[in-house]
A and B are shown apart, each in its own frame.
Chain A
């Protein structure tokens, strides 16, 4: 079992729709969870992070965390073509900032 698993996609949504990206992790002791966006050929850029169960909203983005199910998700409301990218889920496993990444989900937003 991979430490961080994401559906590779591609996930395709129409412009204006809600995109839902999912991530599961294997280490139950993981403490914080990050979503990064990576455009083709570029480096990852931080969207947001969460470490408490429940929802956290930042503009059009909402992260959701369920530690009991070892599941974290990212919702993108009012999706725009500029949101087309690969979204990486990263999990921090402890105080040593031991960050593990998933392979990413490729999202395409069609005009």
Chain B
């Protein structure tokens, strides 16, 4: 089945220790997104790639970076995690950026910062 896969499902890192989350997709979608979701809150868009074109949200901290080396893979790098970065990180894809393109989510990575 075509899908969006995130690894790992659970990640524990230490305060200030860089961490990388990964996402892959077999849907052959053009757009890949990273969302941050904290408990009982709305998913918050961090950035997205339309093909190789990187789009950063204005309020995404510089501590968060992303890479998309090819169509299938996208990575989220957190350079110096703080306690406030503990959250579920959701990768999503969409066929394109039109209004009739729903998001397809991976299973998420739950990040704990100790």
Tell whether A pairs with B: yes
Q: Which residues of A contact B (CB under 8 A)?
A: 4, 8, 31-32, 34, 41-46, 49, 51, 88, 90, 92, 94-97, 99-104
Q: How far is the CA of A49 from the CA of B45 in the complex (A)?
A: 19
Residue pair B99, A32 in contact (C-beta under 8 Å): yes
Q: Would you list 16 pairs from A and B whose C-beta atoms are within 8 A, ordered by A residue?
A: A31-B99, A42-B107, A43-B88, A44-B90, A44-B103, A44-B105, A46-B102, A46-B103, A90-B103, A96-B97, A97-B98, A100-B42, A101-B43, A102-B42, A103-B40, A103-B41
Say if the beta carbon of B96 comes within 8 Å of chain A.
Answer: yes
User: In the complex, A46→B101 CA distance in Å?
Assistant: 11
Interface residues of B (CB under 8 A from A): 31, 40-45, 48, 55, 88, 90, 94, 96-108, 110
Closest 7 pairs (CB-CB, A-B): A97-B97, A31-B99, A32-B99, A101-B42, A43-B105, A43-B108, A103-B42
A42 to B43, CA, bound (A): 12
Q: A46 touching B104 by the CB < 8 A rule?
A: yes
Return B68 CB to nearest CB of chain A, in Å: 16
Give the interface SS of chain B, mostly helix, strand, loop or mixed: loop
Task: Judge whether A42 and B108 touch: CB under 8 Å.
Answer: yes
Q: Which residues of A contact B100 (CB under 8 A)?
A: 32, 49, 51
Most buried by A among B45, B99, B100: B99
Given A44-B43, A101-B42, A95–B97 Cβ distance below 8 Å?
A: yes
CB distance from A5 to the nearest CB of B (A): 10
Taking a contact as CB atoms under 8 Å apart, the answer to whether B42 and A34 are in contact is: no
A4 touches B42 (CB 8 A): yes
Q: Point out the residue from B40, B42, B106 that lies within 8 Å of A43, measured CB to CB.
A: B106
Give chain A residues whose Cβ lies under 8 Å from the Cβ of B106: 43
CB of B23 to closest CB in A, whole Å = 11
CA distance A31 to B44 in the complex (A): 19
